[in-house]
């Protein structure tokens, strides 16, 4: 099974992706709500200073996992070790983390400065020391001079910066971000995610961010943990997730993918409908097995395709969608009836080849770009 | 960090979790003693004979077999049904005028309609005697019918129940989705059809809820029939006669249990209705802003003015009644009826008892209610215990005050009850009143708490700030308006209530509302009117102070709400 | 908040102060009229500064029922100002501690229990009286009744009120009076007829006269003290003792068996038989227990003693429950709601 394979691969690497000792280790974590299994078999190691994203559709368990790490929702079984300390059974107040929520969760009746200093007050710091730290943090988030304002007087982006400063005020070893950008509008979201990334690099604080936005995850994370149905599907660097998805789910969830379901007919052939798709041999799948071939839209080749190019397909452009740098075309082919294909062509190719609705074209799928997985897509 | 924490698989000592758990346990125990156990004692009493032996449903058989008592059921159902039929349409139009029209003087009209809430229910009945009694100012309007009986009861109940129905319907009607009206207008739908197909269905649940609330209020109210019921017996009076008149506790318990039925039904309907009401209005709804329609708006103002004038007229009659020296023979005005010492052994002291009790109810009740609601909403772990607490907090809404008062007699006056020491004390009156009005206060508190970000507690925990600090520094200040509301609600109800406390007051702890009933009983109706006026003035004064205070103090302390 | 705190503190201080003085609190169950409680209490406490009376007041029927109900777990120390028929009932139930107050022998024999020591001592007599509103009577052409029989006339339909005997001592003594003076069969027949004219049966014995005084109804069957009071206050009523004679009862006092404050209870009993106390009673009632205390009460009916029927308290006490059950069965549908 593909999924099991993935966990094997990553579970066997307790030292994280680059050999440093892990700062946070989650082992055998399981969470049940009554008979519903929200998390199962979660094994994860995060080295110090890494920025990790938990990515998955809603209900996949990513927030549950984050809350278990925070101690806000206790796991049913399994262990969590942070900085060599088993924190599995500690209440949140005895753990060492800062957290930022989608809703900001700023105390509305306290000023910005009081919010940021909230966790400092009971740490036996002097008044002056607190004020200095709050000023420092205000500077860090670019809100110098706004200390006396109330949260309601700030924009959403500013509020989330305050929440971030509040979480970092006590210099926690671990920063947890629960969909921190989801409530913001698109442009603020883009800018703030860059700021968060930069701040994280500067402070070197180990960070976990939960998000359902694959683009966000890809752009900020050192590594992405893709989750589905309470399990980890893949843990890898963003490019690896995109280029070599470990499962049908990952292939479908991250980026756009054409799914072509068929039967393995030979070591290097998958029969999709009446079409024999040439693939790269080298997996353990036997002939006659039902499988799904995945191709990214940008992997379609349209220049220099001749009929004997491997996987050449005769198709008609049925619809064209202008996406800016690329044009996305919907292709219909008599060779693959009832299976519309989505292909991206560069703007140059569109101009050069005069691609438009109704044009007949020949495209090719390079076999090395076709990934096949056992089974059917969800 | 403490060394216990390191490497241990055992659950470590968690001070905060324990504090929450202990508070929850303690408060659950108090709730059980104040609500559940007394109710249990009333149920068990109803299946016992005088000697305390179990007799099954024999008492019930006897109750339904007594023609006079069975007649009371019919009487109660009749006045409750008739009142409902009158009040709900009136209140609907009034609420419609307040929410869906551009009628002038909306604030004033809304304020006038709430006056009856500030008065004890005996007040309208007394005023009606002065208006329509055998010596009434305008008794001719009754065309020879007597006010003592169903006519008087229904008229009094209409006054008393009107604001309750109006508040529910105002809420229902203000939850309108403008898009539906725009869609109807775009389709060229005539106004009447819009009313029938959009307005009425959207207020349907509010109407059902209002009808049940009014029906229950009338079934269980005791202040109006005691004053103006004449020979017309109703269930609420029967409980009293059985228990206080004949000391037949078993039969009183039976009537009480019978009285719970309509209240319980109304409670269930209300719960169902509220659940659906929420579903009715999506997050994307656009609030409806009424457009001016001069003809309709002025007609509505006319209607509201008539209703308002009747309400004010009844209040004015009570004030007048309290000032006339000897109606109808000596019409000179004066304060002689306010010298309560001349009419009741306790004189003004019962009023001061009421003030003390209301203040204690407001202070301790609000404290308990808010902390309880906090534990339910924001507490962690012990999920079932928090749900149980919430359920128990819902119970008082389904228990008429009369029944609760009786239950307190049975439970706290039992010779072997270790809490028996409370019997006859002001503390017990306070506990009973808090319990009686618990549900609405609890719901107000939970609504306010629900509006707070659920992650405040998580953030505090992550910052290693104990929950009680966040409770005091954030939760309480943010909920301050709701807290003030709860306190006022408890205070006003404690001032006006009579049904529960009439069973458990003693010589030292007589309340003003009880004094009204006593003075009315001995024929001192003018003094009873005077006391009712004093209570109304006190409630109104507190309400006024609240309004002023919230204008000044709350605005300052809630400065952060401004953008 | 501060006010509440201040209130709590002052209450605590008050409690301490009371504790320091160590006054005996004497719980006295009573059916006395409201306006009598304060004068009696202050006169007694002036003479006995170490005892404080705590009144538990309700109408006779209620107090009687309550005392019976609390028999197993009594709260009363003394029963005072309650109809003697009720006290005899309690005596039969073994609830009375007999005691001969100092000077009891000075009382008129009819006003004390014949046994030695007596179970109860009388305070004053009170009797049925009819209040007739002259203004309303004239306006509506309803004549002043002279006898009980007059009240059966159709002209009084819907214009008569009387107290419910189950809750009111006045109501009970009227009913008992009719049954004794007319005989049981005739008595019930009379009440059947009266029932036809009855507007309402009130909870308290005072209410019918007060309502007649206000003109709410024309005729109220009440008791003579309330009638005199209302007339003195200026109400346009005449006070009538019907010609056939009127039922009456004694207000009496007794010690509840098992009281924890027996010494203080005895002090109150001693006070009740004094001339001073009776002089106080005489402010309200024309006929009191102490011989020679006969100050005229304003507007009090002149021929009161002559109109009092021959009364058998034992009969009333013995048959109380039976009479009330019969009455309730016949007429309760029309009873005014109690509180």
**CA of A89 vs chain B CAs: smallest distance (Å):** 6
**CA of B26 vs chain A CAs: smallest distance (Å):** 23
**Residue B369 belongs to a domain:** yes
| Cross-chain Cβ contact B458/A72 below 8 Å | yes
Query: Which chains contact A through at least 3 pairs of Cβ atoms less than 8 Å apart?
Result: B
HEC secondary structure over C93-154:
CCCEECCCCCCHHHCCHHHECCCCCCCCEEEEEEEEEEEEEHHHHHHHCCCCCCCCHHHHCH
Chain position carrying tokens 């059917």: A376
* CATH number for the domain that contains residue B213: 1.10.3720.10
- Residues in contact with A74: Cβ distance below 8 Å, sequence separation at least 6, in sequence order: A68, A89
Pairing relation of β-strands A312-322 and A360-364? antiparallel
Which of helix, strand or coil describes residue C156? helix
Of residues B529 and C229, which shows the higher confidence score? B529
Q: What is the pLDDT of residues C140-168, one digit of tens each?
A: 999 999 999 999 999 999 999 999 998 88
**Residue B458 belongs to a domain:** yes
Residue from A66, A78, A118 to probe the interface with B (highest B Cβ count within 10 Å): A118
Q: Which residue of C has its CA nearest to B247?
A: C65
What percentage of chain B carries pLDDT values higher than 70? 95
Q: Residue B562 — pLDDT band, cuts 50, 70, 90?
A: low
> From CA C94, how far away is CA C71, in angstroms rounded?
9
Residues of C in contact with B233 (CB under 8 A): 333, 335, 337
> From CA A158, how far away is CA B290, in angstroms rounded?
36
| Cross-chain Cβ contact B12/A91 below 8 Å | yes
Residues B393 and B490 in one domain: yes
- Residues in contact with B241: Cβ distance below 8 Å, sequence separation at least 6, in sequence order: C335, C337, C338
Q: What is the pLDDT of residues B48-65, one digit of tens each?
A: 987 788 988 998 998 888
| Cross-chain Cβ contact B360/C57 below 8 Å | no
Is B334 an interface residue toward A (CB < 8 Å)?
A: no
Q: According to the CATH classification, is domain C127-248+304-334 in 3.40.190.10? A: yes
Q: Which residue of C has its CA nearest to B361?
A: C4
| Cross-chain Cβ contact B9/A101 below 8 Å | no
| Cross-chain Cβ contact B466/A93 below 8 Å | yes
Tokens found for residue A53: 């994203």
Cβ distance C212 to C240 under 8 Å?
A: no
Residues B211 and B260 in one domain: yes
| Cross-chain Cβ contact C337/B240 below 8 Å | yes
Task: Return the pLDDT at C10.
Answer: 52
pLDDT above 50: residue A5: no
Give the structural domain span for B546.
1-48+340-563
Domain C3-125+249-281 top-level CATH class? alpha beta
Residues B321 and B345 in one domain: no
pLDDT above 50: residue B137: yes
User: Roughly what angle, to the nearest 10 degrees, separates helices B294-323 and B67-100?
Assistant: 130
| Cross-chain Cβ contact B523/C207 below 8 Å | yes
What does pLDDT average to over chain B? 88
Q: Residue A11 — pLDDT band, cuts 50, 70, 90?
A: very low
Task: Return the pLDDT at A4.
Answer: 37
Instruction: Nearest by CB to B328, from C215, C217, C234: name it.
Output: C215
**CA of B472 vs chain A CAs: smallest distance (Å):** 12
Task: Return the pLDDT at A166.
Answer: 95
| Cross-chain Cβ contact C209/B523 below 8 Å | yes
Residues B449 and B482 in one domain: yes
Query: How many residue contacts between A and B have a Cβ separation below 8 Å?
Result: 112
| Cross-chain Cβ contact A107/B17 below 8 Å | no
Instruction: Nearest by CB to C55, from B342, B507, B525: name it.
Output: B507
Residue from A94, A96, A99, A153 to probe the interface with B (highest B Cβ count within 10 Å): A94
**Residue B155 belongs to a domain:** yes
What percentage of chain A carries pLDDT values higher than 70? 95
Q: Residue B279 — pLDDT band, cuts 50, 70, 90?
A: low
Task: Return the pLDDT at B4.
Answer: 36
Task: Return the pLDDT at B560.
Answer: 77
**CA of A168 vs chain B CAs: smallest distance (Å):** 9
Is B189 an interface residue toward C (CB < 8 Å)?
A: no
Instruction: Nearest by CB to C338, from B231, B244, B326: name it.
Output: B244
Residues B251 and B171 in one domain: yes
Residues B221 and B317 in one domain: yes
Q: Which residue of B has its CA nearest to C168?
A: B245
What percentage of chain A carries pLDDT values higher than 90? 71
Q: Residue B277 — pLDDT band, cuts 50, 70, 90?
A: low
Enter the pTM of the model: 0.86
Task: Return the pLDDT at B535.
Answer: 97
Task: Return the pLDDT at B278.
Answer: 55
**Residue B56 belongs to a domain:** no
**Residue B560 belongs to a domain:** yes
Residues B344 and B490 in one domain: yes
Task: Return the pLDDT at B346.
Answer: 80
Tokens found for residue B158: 């209409």
**Residue B73 belongs to a domain:** yes
pLDDT (mean) for B244-264: 84
| Domains held by chain B: number | 2
> From CA B97, how far away is CA B306, in angstroms rounded?
13
Domain boundary, last residue among B316, B333, B350: B333
> From CA A97, how far away is CA A170, in angstroms rounded?
9
pLDDT above 80: residue B9: no
pLDDT above 90: residue A37: yes
Cβ distance A353 to A290 under 8 Å?
A: no
Q: What is the pLDDT of residues B314-354, one digit of tens each?
A: 999 999 999 998 888 888 999 999 999 888 878 899 999 99
pLDDT (mean) for A41-61: 95
Task: Return the pLDDT at C333.
Answer: 60
Instruction: Nearest by CB to C338, from B240, B329, B344: name it.
Output: B240
Tokens found for residue A376: 């059917």
> From CA B337, how far away is CA B335, in angstroms rounded?
6
Q: Which residue of B has its CA nearest to A117?
A: B463
Residues of B in contact with A98 (CB under 8 A): 462-463
**Residue B285 belongs to a domain:** no
Query: Which chains contact C through at least 3 pairs of Cβ atoms less than 8 Å apart?
Result: B
Q: What is the pLDDT of residues C160-191, one digit of tens each?
A: 999 999 888 899 999 999 999 999 999 999 99
Q: Which residue of A has its CA nearest to B479?
A: A109
Residues B347 and B326 in one domain: no
**Same topology between domain C3-125+249-281 and domain C127-248+304-334:** yes
Burial class (CB in 10 A: 0-12, 13-18, 19+), B186: exposed
pLDDT above 70: residue B284: no
Weakest-pLDDT range from A13-17, A33-37, A348-352, B434-438: A13-17
**CA of A143 vs chain B CAs: smallest distance (Å):** 17
Residues B473 and B493 in one domain: yes
Instruction: Nearest by CB to C200, from B148, B244, B246: name it.
Output: B148
Weakest-pLDDT range from A82-96, B13-27, B140-154, C26-40: B13-27
| Cross-chain Cβ contact C336/B230 below 8 Å | yes
Q: What is the pLDDT of residues A300-311, one digit of tens each?
A: 999 888 888 899
Q: Residue B285 — pLDDT band, cuts 50, 70, 90?
A: low
pLDDT (mean) for B200-212: 86
Cα–Cα distance list, A220 to A16, A215, C51 (Å): 18, 9, 86
| Cross-chain Cβ contact B233/C37 below 8 Å | no
Residue from B11, B463, B477 to probe the interface with A (highest A Cβ count within 10 Å): B463
Residues B188 and B310 in one domain: yes
Is B561 an interface residue toward A (CB < 8 Å)?
A: yes
Query: Which chains contact B through at least 3 pairs of Cβ atoms less than 8 Å apart?
Result: A, C
| Cross-chain Cβ contact A110/B474 below 8 Å | yes
Spell out the domain ranges in chain C: 3-125+249-281, 127-248+304-334
pLDDT (mean) for A143-167: 94
Q: Which residue of B has its CA nearest to A166?
A: B463
Is B328 an interface residue toward C (CB < 8 Å)?
A: yes
Residues of B in contact with C7 (CB under 8 A): 356, 359
* A111 φψ region: left (φ > 0), alpha (ψ -120 to 50), beta (else): beta
**Residue B183 belongs to a domain:** yes
Is B476 an interface residue toward A (CB < 8 Å)?
A: no
Maximal C-alpha separation, chain C:
67
Residues B396 and B329 in one domain: no
Residue from C11, C34, C75, C77 to probe the interface with B (highest B Cβ count within 10 Å): C34
Looking at chain B from residue 37 to 66, which residues have their Cβ under 8 Å from any Cβ of chain A?
A: none
Of residues B244 and B167, which shows the higher confidence score? B167
Q: What is the pLDDT of residues A173-219, one digit of tens each?
A: 999 999 999 889 999 999 999 999 999 999 999 999 999 999 999 99
pLDDT above 90: residue A2: no
| DSSP codes, B274-343 | HHHHHHHS-TT--B--PPP-HHHHHHHHHHHHHHHHHHHHHHHHHHHHHHEEETTTEEEE-SGGG-GGGT
Contacts 24+ apart (CB under 8 A), A197-203: A197/A51, A199/A140, A199/A164, A199/A168, A200/A51, A200/A175, A201/A51, A203/A168
| Cross-chain Cβ contact C57/B345 below 8 Å | yes
Residues of C in contact with B341 (CB under 8 A): 38
Task: Return the pLDDT at C60.
Answer: 86
Chain position carrying tokens 């507190």: B542
Question: A–C contact (≥3 CB pairs within 8 Å)?
Answer: no
Can you list the residues of chain C whose pLDDT is less than 70?
1-22, 333-339
Residues B240 and B173 in one domain: yes
pLDDT (mean) for B187-195: 87
């Amino acid at each position: 099974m593909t999924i099991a394979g993935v966990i094997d691969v990553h579970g066997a690497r307790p030292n994280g992706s680059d050999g440093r000792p892990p700062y946070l280790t989650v082992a055998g974590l399981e969470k049940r709500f009554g008979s519903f299994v929200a998390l199962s078999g979660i094994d994860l190691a995060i080295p110090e200073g890494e920025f990790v994203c938990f990515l998955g559709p809603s209900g996949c368990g990513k927030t549950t996992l984050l809350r278990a790490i925070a101690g806000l929702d206790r796991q049913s079984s399994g262990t969590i070790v942070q900085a060599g300390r088993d924190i599995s059974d500690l209440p949140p107040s005895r753990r060492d983390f800062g957290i930022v929520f989608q809703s900001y969760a700023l105390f509305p009746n306290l000023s910005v400065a009081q919010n940021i200093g909230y966790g400092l007050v009971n740490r036996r710091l002097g008044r002056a020391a607190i004020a200095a730290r709050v000023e420092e943090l205000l500077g860090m988030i670019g809100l110098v001079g706004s200390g006396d304002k109330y949260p309601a007087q700030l924009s959403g982006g500013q509020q989330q910066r305050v929440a971030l400063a509040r979480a970092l005020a006590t210099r926690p070893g671990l920063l947890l971000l629960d969909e921190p950008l989801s409530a913001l509008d698109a442009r603020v979201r883009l800018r703030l995610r860059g700021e968060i990334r930069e701040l994280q690099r500067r402070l070197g604080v180990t960070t976990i961010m939960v998000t359902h936005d694959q683009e966000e995850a890809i752009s900020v994370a050192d590594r992405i943990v893709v989750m589905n149905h309470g399990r980890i599907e893949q843990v890898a660097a963003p490019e690896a997730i995109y280029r070599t998805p470990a499962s049908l789910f990952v292939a479908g969830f991250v980026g756009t993918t054409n799914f072509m379901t068929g039967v393995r007919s030979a070591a290097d052939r998958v029969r999709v409908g009446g079409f024999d798709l040439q693939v790269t041999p080298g997996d353990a799948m036997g002939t006659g097995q039902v499988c799904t071939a995945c191709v990214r839209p940008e992997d379609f080749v349209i220049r220099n395709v001749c009929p004997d190019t491997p996987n050449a397909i005769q198709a008609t452009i049925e619809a064209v969608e202008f996406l800016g740098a690329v044009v996305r075309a919907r292709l219909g082919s008599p060779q693959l009836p009832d299976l519309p294909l989505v292909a991206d062509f560069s703007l140059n190719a569109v101009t050069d080849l005069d691609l438009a609705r109704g044009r007949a074209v020949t495209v090719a799928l390079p076999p090395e770009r076709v990934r096949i997985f056992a089974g059917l897509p969800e | 960090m403490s060394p216990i924490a390191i490497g241990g698989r055992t659950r470590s000592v968690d001070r905060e979790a324990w504090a929450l758990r202990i508070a929850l346990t303690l408060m659950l125990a108090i709730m059980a003693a104040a609500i559940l156990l007394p109710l249990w004692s009333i149920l068990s009493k109803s299946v016992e004979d005088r000697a305390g032996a179990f007799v099954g449903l024999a008492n019930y058989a006897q109750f339904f077999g007594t023609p006079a008592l069975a007649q009371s059921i019919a009487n109660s159902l009749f006045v409750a049904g008739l009142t409902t039929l009158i009040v709900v349409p009136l209140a609907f139009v009034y609420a419609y005028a307040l929410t869906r029209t551009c009628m002038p003087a909306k604030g004033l009209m809304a304020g006038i309609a709430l006056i009856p809430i500030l008065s004890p229910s005996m007040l309208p009945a007394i005023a009606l005697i002065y208006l329509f009694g055998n010596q009434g100012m305008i008794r001719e309007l009754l065309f020879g019918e007597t006010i003592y009986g169903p006519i008087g009861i229904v008229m009094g109940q209409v006054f008393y129940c009107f604001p309750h129905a109006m508040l529910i319907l105002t809420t229902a009607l203000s939850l309108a989705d403008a898009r539906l009206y725009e869609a109807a207008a775009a389709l060229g739908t005539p106004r009447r059809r819009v009313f029938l197909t959009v307005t009425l269905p959207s207020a349907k649940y509010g109407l059902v809820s209002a009808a049940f609330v009014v029906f229950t209020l009338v079934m269980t109210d005791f202040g109006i029939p005691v004053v103006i019921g004449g020979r017309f017996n109703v269930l609420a009076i029967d409980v009293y006669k059985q228990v206080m008149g004949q000391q037949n506790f078993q039969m009183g318990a039976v009537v009480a249990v019978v009285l719970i039925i309509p209240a319980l039904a109304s409670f269930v309907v209300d719960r169902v209705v509220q659940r659906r009401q929420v579903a009715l209005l999506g997050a994307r709804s656009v609030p409806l802003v009424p457009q001016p329609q001069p003809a309709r708006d002025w007609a509505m103002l006319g209607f509201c003015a008539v209703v308002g004038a009747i309400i004010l007229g009844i209040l004015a009659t009570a004030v007048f009644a309290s000032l006339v020296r000897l109606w109808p023979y000596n019409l000179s005005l004066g304060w002689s009826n306010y010298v309560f010492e001349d009419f009741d052994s306790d004189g003004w002291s019962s009023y001061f008892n009421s003030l003390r009790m209301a203040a204690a109810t407001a202070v301790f009740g609000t404290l308990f209610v808010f902390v309880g609601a906090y534990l339910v909403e924001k507490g962690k772990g012990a999920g079932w215990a928090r749900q149980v607490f919430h359920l128990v907090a819902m119970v008082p809404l389904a228990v008429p005050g009369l029944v609760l008062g009786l239950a307190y007699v049975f439970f706290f006056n039992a010779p072997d009850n270790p809490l028996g020491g409370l019997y006859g004390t002001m503390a017990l009156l306070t506990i009973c009143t808090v319990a009686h009005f618990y549900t609405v206060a609890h719901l107000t508190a939970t609504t306010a708490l629900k509006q707070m970000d659920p992650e405040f507690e998580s953030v505090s925990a992550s910052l290693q700030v104990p929950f009680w600090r966040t409770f005091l520094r954030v939760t309480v200040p943010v909920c301050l308006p709701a807290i003030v509301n709860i306190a006022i609600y408890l205070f006003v109800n404690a001032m006006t209530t009579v049904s529960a406390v009439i069973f458990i007051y003693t010589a030292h702890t007589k309340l003003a509302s009880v004094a009204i009933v006593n003075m009315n009983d001995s024929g001192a109706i003018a003094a009873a009117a005077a006391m009712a006026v004093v209570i109304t003035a006190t409630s109104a004064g507190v309400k006024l102070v609240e309004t002023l205070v919230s204008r000044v103090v709350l605005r300052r302390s809630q400065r952060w709400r401004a953008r | 908040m501060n006010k509440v705190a201040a209130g709590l503190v002052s209450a605590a201080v008050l409690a301490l102060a009371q504790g320091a003085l160590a006054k005996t609190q004497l719980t006295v169950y009573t059916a006395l009229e409201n306006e009598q409680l304060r004068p009696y209490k202050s006169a007694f406490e002036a003479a006995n500064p170490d005892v404080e009376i705590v009144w538990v007041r309700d109408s006779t029927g209620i107090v009687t029922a309550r005392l019976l109900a609390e028999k197993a777990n009594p709260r009363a120390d003394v029963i005072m100002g309650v109809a003697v028929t009720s006290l005899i009932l309690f005596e039969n139930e073994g609830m009375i501690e007999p005691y001969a107050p100092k000077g009891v022998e000075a009382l008129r024999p009819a006003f004390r229990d014949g046994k030695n020591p007596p179970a109860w001592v009388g305070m004053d007599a009170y009797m049925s009286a009819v209040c007739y509103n002259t203004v309303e009577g004239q306006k509506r052409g309803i004549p002043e009744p002279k006898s009980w029989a007059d009240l059966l006339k159709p002209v009084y339909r819907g214009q008569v009120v009387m107290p419910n005997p189950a809750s009111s001592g006045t109501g009970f003594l009227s009913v008992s009076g009719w049954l004794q003076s007319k005989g049981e069969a005739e008595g019930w027949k009379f009440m059947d007829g009266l029932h036809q004219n009855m507007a309402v049966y009130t909870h308290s014995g005072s209410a019918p006269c007060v309502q007649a005084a206000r003109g709410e109804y024309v005729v109220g069957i009440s008791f003579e003290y309330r009638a005199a009071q209302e007339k003195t206050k200026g109400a346009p009523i005449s006070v009538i003792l019907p010609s056939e004679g009127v039922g009456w009862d004694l207000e009496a006092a007794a010690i509840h068996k098992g009281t924890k404050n027996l010494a203080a209870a005895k002090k109150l009993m001693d006070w009740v038989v004094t001339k001073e106390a009776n002089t106080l009673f005489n402010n309200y009632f024309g006929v009191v227990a102490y011989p020679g205390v006969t100050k005229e009460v304003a507007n009090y009916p002149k021929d009161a003693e002559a109109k009092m029927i021959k009364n058998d308290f034992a009969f009333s006490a013995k048959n109380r429950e039976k009479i009330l059950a019969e009455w309730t069965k016949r007429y309760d549908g029309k009873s005014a709601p109690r509180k």
